[in-house]
Amino acid sequence: MPSTLQPALAEHPFLRGMTPEALALLTGCAKNHRFAAGEYLATHGTQADRCFLIRKGRVALYAASAAKSVIVNTAGPGELVGWSWIITPYRYRFDARATEDTLAFDLDGACLRQKCDDNPALGYEFLKRVSIELGRRLDDVQLRLLDVYGEPDGG
């Protein structure tokens, strides 16, 4: 039932501070979703029709090559997984898999897009929050690109 989800959604750090009206709109697109450890939340290259707000557990983003899969990032409680639903061509860029039993809000991307299109104020607010997450992710990757802990033999 969407109405029972709204107070819990309001508590999620990603949505904290949103107006009740905005939350009411979002709640219509949301449901609870449990993932067992190892279960996929999203698969690289497929239609990005969902995003997840993690409540418990941990989700890893994988970039897989033929030889091995590498974890490029992880998200824990309070964090967002999946932003491809808001940016064309709405296709997932990585595999997302639960590394432990995970509880998340599962938001329908098509539904969110529609609500954001209909209500630009909500759309702007949502995009601002996604942008913060994107910026943080970019900082993180750039910092790791510096290889700050160094390669003992290389230096």
Partner 1 sequence: MAVEGFVPQDGSDPMVPEPYRIVERRRETSHTVTLALSSAGEVPTRAFQPGQFSMLYAFGLGEVPISISGSTARRDRLEYTIRGVGAVSKALCETPVGAMLGVRGPFGTAWPVAGPENRDLLIVAGGIGLAPLRSVIYQVLERRSHFGNAFVLIGARTEADLLFRDEYPRWRAAGLDTRVTLDAASGSWKGSVGVVTSLFPNVEVRPNRTVAMLCGPEVMMRFAAQALRDKGLSPHDIYVSMERNMKCAVGFCGRCQYGADFICRDGPVLPFGRLEDRLVLQEV
Partner 2 sequence: MPETGHDHADSIDTPSVLSAAHFGALLQAIRNEGYTLVGPTVRDGAIIYDEIESTQDLPIGWTDEQEAGHYRLKRRDDFAYFGYVVGPQSWKKFLLPARRRLWSSVRREDGGFTIEPEPLPERRLAFIGVRACELAAIRTQDRVLMEGSFQDPYYRAARQGAFVVAVNCVSAAPTCFCASMNTGPKVSGGDLALTEVVSPERHYFLVSPQTARGQAVLQRVEHRAASDEEQDEALTHEARAVSQMRRKLDTEGLPELIAAAQGSAHWQRVAERCLACTNCTMVCPTCFCSTVEDTVDLSGQRAERHRKLDSCFNREFTYLHTGSVRESGAARYRQWLTHKLSTWHAQFDSSGCVGCGRCITWCPVGIDITEEAAALREAVDQS
Complex with partner 1: residue 108 or 133, whichever CB lies closer: 133
**Token match 């508590």: residue?**
11
Complex with partner 2: residue 17 or 155, whichever CB lies closer: 155
Site string for partner 2, 133-152 (x = CB under 8 A): -----------------x-x
Q: How far is the CB of 107 from partner 1 (least distance, A)?
A: 19
Site string for partner 1, 42-81 (x = CB under 8 A): ----------------x-x-x-x---xxxxxxx-xxxx--
Q: How far apart are CA 137 and CA 141, in angstroms?
A: 6
Q: How far is CA 54 from CA 13, 58, 117, 155, in A?
A: 10, 8, 25, 39
Binding residues for partner 2, total number by CB under 8 A: 3
Provide the 8-state DSSP code for 43: -
Q: How far is the CB of 11 from partner 1 (least distance, A)?
A: 14
Q: How far is the CB of 93 from partner 2 (least distance, A)?
A: 32
Q: How far apart are CA 130 and CA 141, in angstroms?
A: 16
Measured N-to-C along each axis, helices 20-27 and 2-11 cross at an angle, to the nearest 10 degrees, of 130
Q: How far is the CB of 124 from partner 1 (least distance, A)?
A: 23
Tokens at residue 32, please? 């609870």
Q: How would you classify the pairing of strands 80-81 and 50-56?
A: antiparallel
Give contact residues for partner 2 (rule: CB under 8 A): 150, 152, 155
